[in-house]
Amino acid sequence: MIEALPLSALPASAEALRPAVRAFLDEALAGRPTDRLARSWMGFDAEFSRALASRGWVGLTLPREYGGGGQDAFHRFVLAEELLARGAPVSAHWIADRQSGPLILKYGTEAQRRFFLPRICSGELFFCIGMSEPQSGSDLAGLRTRATRTADGWVLKGQKLWTTNAHRAHYMIALVRTHGGPEDRHAGLSQLIVDLSLPGVQVRTIGDLAGDAHFNEVFFDEVRLPEDAIIGAEGEGWAQVTAELAYERSGPERIYGSIVLFDAWLAHLRSLPQVREADVALAGKLLAHLAPLREMSLALTAQLAAGASPVIEAALVKDLGTEFEQAVPNLLADALYAAPDDAPPEMLLRTLHYVLQVCPTFSLRGGTREILRGVIARGLGLR
Amino acid sequence: MDALLVESFEKLIQGTCSPATVRAVERDGQAHALWAEVEASGYLDLLVPDEGGAALRDAFPLWLACGAHTLPVPLAQTMWARGLLAAAGLPQTAGPIALAPAARREAGGVLRCACVPFGALAQGLLLRTPEGEVACVPLKAATVQRSGVHGSLQADIVFASLPADALRLPAATDLQAAGALITATLMAGSLQRLLAMTLQYANDRAQFGKAIGKFQAVQQQLAVLAEQAFAARMAAELACAEAGLQPHRLRAAVAKARAAEAAEKAVAIAHAVHGAIGVTAEFDLQLVTRRLQEGRGDFGSATYWHGELGRALLAASGPTVPFLLQALLPDAAARADTAG
């Protein structure tokens, strides 16, 4: 049975980080239109990421000896909350900061830590995560990309799909098969760090319905990797990935994805001589959903900070969070076009339509709604 | 809150409040024996301030337990009222106390409190008059008439005027927010129970040769039920995160609105999973779902509180997250001791 998530509190030292981040963002984001900011953690801006890094805000939770900030998960929560609340374009460093860095710290060798972590923290190296494949999406354990041992390393052969930022990242942490076949399921999987500049790696960008290009197909044609490309234990890839997904699913990015749109709508309402009662109630309804979600997300952070891996609880919060993120554009689209005489500003409508078009992806990436509910059902003892 | 204290409270409720007791109280509209046990336990005075003060957050786990067992007496409401009376240096009103934040004046100055939750059992009423007076009154001279549907303990309470022995409380006392927050916490407890009962049934009931909980369609629904129960619980805990006795109106609004929305979804799923047995009088599910359905409206529905929240948000300037952090969510001091 899943245990209830108790109300947590941010330590004062973490809260103290907030004003500096706000001040930085006031300057760094000035003048950026809301339809760009609405891309939030899908917005890629290497220069912005490096500016954050120069302030010590990339790899905040990594130890100081590896160039990190040496802070706990609560500090990262505050930083992430402020970045996401403003729609800061954090995509370039986000995956390395959230997943790859902590993964390398936890499972990597000392040499891997010394090489990668300082470069992640400086904003020099960006990462992507190679999980899905053409024949293996939700059914991740059926993946076929294979790394075969050679005398001095590995040969990688296969294909990844829907890999966000593969065309702009320097490294991929790929989940691949090192033993057995697809029928062996979770056994025989390992994680490898793949240098995407190596011969035999080909990245093809896939355009999306919003005119953006963030995900890719990545081909590995006999890519020769060094011995130390493996991260963690051979055959333990599934367990490592599961722990990593708790990071991916528990962050505040699963609740604030539509907040730029919501704020733009509120600004529009505030400019009207009179707000319809239905719109007042809608604003309140969304706020009533957001408040406990934020606290549930913070409660997950408290569990991470305490060294736990709240896999099931993270699935629960992600599912609720993405439902909220999708409700915002859907309900606002209806509300805005219920009052065409209010002449909503063009930028608000552009922002709305962007989020409306991409919002189905909110409950796909990082595990689909149906998969997450299956995880929750397992936590409830039903499977 | 001392974990042992919570544990012994849960034992008390479990021991005194069997489904048979709940049914008897709901049928008869009286609960003398049950109330005597509650009173003797001493828990009613948990919020009576001592040197350390009294905090709503101490009551949270206890009120959850009341909701989980569908305790058919207004223990939570009485606990809060007794705390207020003591804090104001006033004597106590005997027996169960119900809350009525919206008394109406009728012809001849008669005061009518409509559809008071647990009103059928109340011996005292903490009410707010249309003139804005807040007072606790014994109900000796009042007419109490059950107003709810089958099994409901709601009542219309009517009296000629505020009696001479009414105990006046500060006019700023927000009875509606307190009622909303208490109801939301009871509902959060009931939702936890609803989840447990529905899981149990899904594991026990077999169709097509296997437990219905093995079917993905049912599993997905149960996952949603769990999500709603968790969200409602967090919203209630937020609202109870107070170092004092006065509720924070916006947090109470979040709790009540979220509990009402959660109940709507959760009750539908629980009944869908149970099928026909779930609506029978003899099966215990209805004890929980009837209470949840009724609670959705008590002290303001979801839309009522959405309006309050929306007005507060729109009256502020700037983006939502700073508003959330500064005007809505509890500060670190109020959160202290809430964990665990």
Task: Give B170-224 pLDDT, tens digit per residue.
Answer: 999 999 999 999 999 999 999 999 999 999 999 999 999 999 999 999 999 999 9
Which residue has 């709503």 as its token pair?
Answer: B56
Instruction: Say yes or no for a CB contact (<8 Å) between B223 and A263.
Output: no
Q: Indicate the DSSP class of residue A209.
A: T
Over residues B329-337, the mean pLDDT reads 84
Task: Give B111-161 pLDDT, tens digit per residue.
Answer: 999 999 999 999 999 999 999 999 999 998 899 999 999 999 999 999 988
B262: left (phi over 0), alpha (psi -120 to 50) or beta: alpha
Report CA B190 to chain centroid distance, whole Å.
Answer: 10
Instruction: Say yes or no for a CB contact (<8 Å) between A266 and B257.
Output: no
CB neighbour class for B223 (10 Å; exposed up to 12, middle 13-18, buried from 19): buried
Catalytically annotated residue among A244, A248, A253, A313: A248
Over 50: is that where the pLDDT of B296 sits? Answer: yes
3-state secondary structure chain B: CCHHHHHHHHHHHHHHCCHHHHHHHHHHCCCHHHHHHHHHHCHHHCCCCECCECCHHHHHHHHHHHHHCCCCCCHHHHHHHHHHHHHCCCCCCCCCEEEECCCEEEHHHEEEEEEECCHHHCCEEEEECCCCCEEEEECCCCEEEECCCCCCCCEEEEECCCCCCCEEECCCCCHHHHHHHHHHHHHHHHHHHHHHHHHHHHHHCEECCEEHHHCHHHHHHHHHHHHHHHHHHHHHHHHHCCCCCCCCHHHHHHHHHHHHHHHHHHHHHHHHHHHHHHHCCCCCHHHHHHHHHHHCCCCCCHHHHHHHHHHHHHHCCCCHHHHHHHHHCCCHHHHCCCCC
d(CA B64, CA A334): 37
Residue of B6, B60, B234 to mutate for A, most A C-beta atoms under 10 A = B234
Task: Give A334-368 pLDDT, tens digit per residue.
Answer: 999 998 888 899 999 999 999 999 999 999 988 89
d(CA A49, CA A42): 13
Search chain B and give the residue with CA nearest A1: B196
Task: For domain B175-335, say whether CATH 1.20.140.10 is its number.
Answer: yes
Is this prediction's ipTM beyond 0.90?
A: yes
Q: Indicate the DSSP class of residue A99.
A: I
Search chain B and give the residue with CA nearest A382: B213
> Which pLDDT band holds residue B340 (cuts at 50, 70, 90)?
very low
Over residues A212-236, the mean pLDDT reads 96
Asked if A194 is an interface residue toward chain B (Cβ–Cβ < 8 A), one would say no
Residue B126: name the closest of B118, B110, B137, B113 by CA.
B137
Q: Other CB atoms closer than 10 Å to residue B189's CB: what's the count?
A: 28
Task: Give A79-88 pLDDT, tens digit per residue.
Answer: 999 999 999 9
User: Regarding predicted confidence, which is higher, A330 or A42?
Assistant: A330
d(CA B330, CA B255): 13
Task: Give A254-281 pLDDT, tens digit per residue.
Answer: 899 999 999 999 999 999 999 999 999 9
Over 60: is that where the pLDDT of A233 sits? Answer: yes
> Which pLDDT band holds residue B1 (cuts at 50, 70, 90)?
low
d(CA A313, CA A375): 9
* Letter string b/e over residues A162-200, b meaning 16 or more CB atoms within 10 A of that residue's CB: bbbbbbbbbbbbbbbbbeeeeeeeeebbbbbbbebeeee
Search chain A and give the residue with CA nearest B239: A292
Q: Which residues of A touch B230 (CB under 8 A)?
A: 2, 4-5, 296, 316, 320
Residues of chain A with CATH 2.40.110.10: 129-235
d(CA A106, CA A100): 10
Tokens of B315: 């009256």
Task: Give B269-291 pLDDT, tens digit per residue.
Answer: 999 999 999 999 999 999 999 99
Task: Give B57-66 pLDDT, tens digit per residue.
Answer: 999 999 999 9
User: Regarding predicted confidence, which is higher, A333 or B1?
Assistant: A333
Over 60: is that where the pLDDT of B338 sits? Answer: no
What residues does A202 pair with on adjacent strands?
A: A219
Q: Other CB atoms closer than 10 Å to residue B61's CB: what's the count?
A: 21
What is the residue-averaged pLDDT of chain B? Answer: 95
Q: Other CB atoms closer than 10 Å to residue B322's CB: what's the count?
A: 15
Helix (H, G, I), strand (E, B) or coil at A346: helix
- The yes-or-no answer on residue A27 being catalytic is no
Instruction: Say yes or no for a CB contact (<8 Å) between B313 and A262.
Output: no
Q: Answer yes or no: are the C-beta atoms of B38 and B73 closer than 8 Å.
A: yes
CATH architecture of residue range(s) A129-235: Beta Barrel (2.40)
Cβ-Cβ contacts under 8 Å for A370 (sequence gap 6 or more): A138, B220
Long-range contacts of A199-205 (CB under 8 A, 24+ apart): A199/A223, A199/A224, A200/A156, A200/A224, A203/A166, A203/A167, A205/A167
- Smallest CA–CA distance, residue B300 to chain A, in Å, is 13
Q: Give percent above pLDDT 70 in chain A.
A: 100
CATH number of A239-379: 1.20.140.10
The pLDDT of residue B337 is 57
All structural domains of chain B with their residue ranges: 175-335
Tokens of B145: 């008439």
Residues of chain A with CATH 1.10.540.10: 12-126
CB neighbour class for B92 (10 Å; exposed up to 12, middle 13-18, buried from 19): middle
Search chain A and give the residue with CA nearest B315: A270
Over 90: is that where the pLDDT of A246 sits? Answer: no
Which residue has 């299956």 as its token pair?
Answer: A374
Task: Give A149-204 pLDDT, tens digit per residue.
Answer: 999 999 999 999 999 999 999 999 999 999 998 888 899 999 999 999 999 999 99
Asked if A377 is an interface residue toward chain B (Cβ–Cβ < 8 A), one would say yes
What residues does A257 pair with on adjacent strands?
A: none
CATH architecture of residue range(s) A12-126: Orthogonal Bundle (1.10)
Tokens of B305: 């509180």
Instruction: Please report the number of interchain residue pairs, chain A to chain B, with beta-carbon separation below 8 angstroms.
Output: 176
Which region among A56-60, A108-112, A304-308, B200-204 has the lowest average model confidence (pLDDT)? Answer: A304-308
Which region among A2-6, A327-331, B10-14 has the lowest average model confidence (pLDDT)? Answer: A2-6
> Which pLDDT band holds residue B312 (cuts at 50, 70, 90)?
very high
- Smallest CA–CA distance, residue B27 to chain A, in Å, is 34
